Amino acid sequence: MSRVAYIQYTNPAAYPSLEHGSRMLADDGWKVLFLGTDIHGVESLRFSPHNNIAVRQLSACRRGWRQKLHYAWFTIWASCWTLGSGCSWVYASDPLACPTGFLLSLVPWIRVVYHEHDSPTPGDIESRGSITRFMRTILWTRRKLARRAALCVLPNERRAEQFTADMGHDVKVVCVWNCPTKHEVGPSRSSLNGGNVWVFYHGSLVPARLPKTVLHALKMLPDWVKLRAIGYETVGHRGYVEELRALAATLGISHRVEFVGTVPTRDELFARCREADIGLAFMPKISHDINEQAMTGASNKPFDYLACGLPLLVSDLPDWRELYVENNLALSVDPGDAASIAAAVQWLLERPDELRTMGERGRQRILAEWNYEKQFLPVFQCLTGHQSAGPASEDPSR
């Protein structure tokens, strides 16, 4: 029986792509072991149960010198569990898993796939002090692991090209978008949900993703247009939800805004998403973070909304326009301009048939092409040995 250990220094349930890929393997008869750690803000997230998937996590640790010991212990703990469970494959997720993945790649009978959800930013590399020494170790093992890995997985074409340039052209790289699975696709929808129109957001509750301009835009719209946000605050933006609640109260729209918090599973998230009508997927127009600069394909939000039949509002950025607006799945707006957001919502309100047509067009696109079954196939074939992983330049949208 084939066995694989997924290793990530975070809560693995925070990454839908890990759940999707692991379930494909588990459905194929693999025994899957997740080795992670609790993280403040996303500790309530969990996978839907599967008989062939087990999850083990260390408890969370606060920042400081104790976290350095915690990380060292995680490396030892995850290595021991992997060796003791008889895994022949390791699926290392993100740079902080690289030291463990590299050590295990030295074991003769273990092969490794490296999946980088979030790439190190120049700030991580160029910073000063003790963090630099730590990051140098991470980046060194990242390069070593990339060269030893059977396959490296990136969620965006531009980031895949940059990774290849940094690691060397002999490294095997494939681009896999963070799409939902076919079973997550909702039924076709012919009309709006009752009397209210719900604008929906899910993900990290930070100013770059859910700016305060959304509330100002809501103030400009009819009273029956409402906002529902599901997600979590990050360490760098604690208290942001309270700021949004206070702003909603000041604007007199508290009765039109819901902050649900996190919902534990994808099934529950999609049930709430199907109750909505329009999905928000914003990115800052200017950013020095490569992950924010290259998020088309990497962001699961727009794909999740489309799977539920929702049209999108996206940032007016070239790659987002090309992927979503030019395919008639979205309207582009300036996320920093409340009037721009309000105008886009009003356009959809005045054209309810087009609203539903855009959503249905996206739902069909998910079923036909933008689903994880199709996206993950090169990785699945690499792990199972059915075929070669295919060319690194393969376009996932085909």
229-288 tens-digit pLDDT? 999 988 788 899 999 999 999 999 999 999 999 999 999 999 999 999 999 999 998 888
Would you call 395 helix, strand, or coil by DSSP?
A: coil
Burial class for 267, CB neighbours closer than 10 Å (0-12, 13-18, 19+): exposed
CATH class of 3-176+376-384: alpha beta
* pTM summary value: 0.92
pLDDT at 389: 41
- 55 secondary structure, DSSP code: E
Could you tell me the end-to-end alpha-carbon distance of the chain, in angstroms, rounded to an integer? 33
184-206 per-position pLDDT tens digit: 999 998 766 668 999 999 999 99
pLDDT at 135: 86
Strand pairing report for 278-281 and 197-204: parallel
What is the distance of C-alpha 30 from the center of its chain? Answer: 24
Residues of the chain with CATH 3.40.50.2000: 3-176+376-384, 182-368
Q: What residues of the chain score a pLDDT lower than 50? A: 124-130, 387-398
Residue from 372, 388, 397 nearest 25 by CA: 372
Residue from 83, 19, 74, 81 nearest 52 by CA: 19
Residue 132 token pair: 């630099």
Residue from 157, 187, 394 nearest 273 by CA: 187
Structural domain 182-368, CATH architecture: 3-Layer(aba) Sandwich (3.40)
Residue from 68, 75, 73, 10 nearest 39 by CA: 10
| Residue 181 neighbours by CB under 8 Å, 6+ apart | 20, 23, 371, 372, 373
Residue pair 204/45 in contact by the 8 Å Cβ criterion: no
CA-to-CA separations, 72 to 93, 205, 267, in angstroms, rounded: 17, 30, 34
Residue 256 token pair: 């039109």
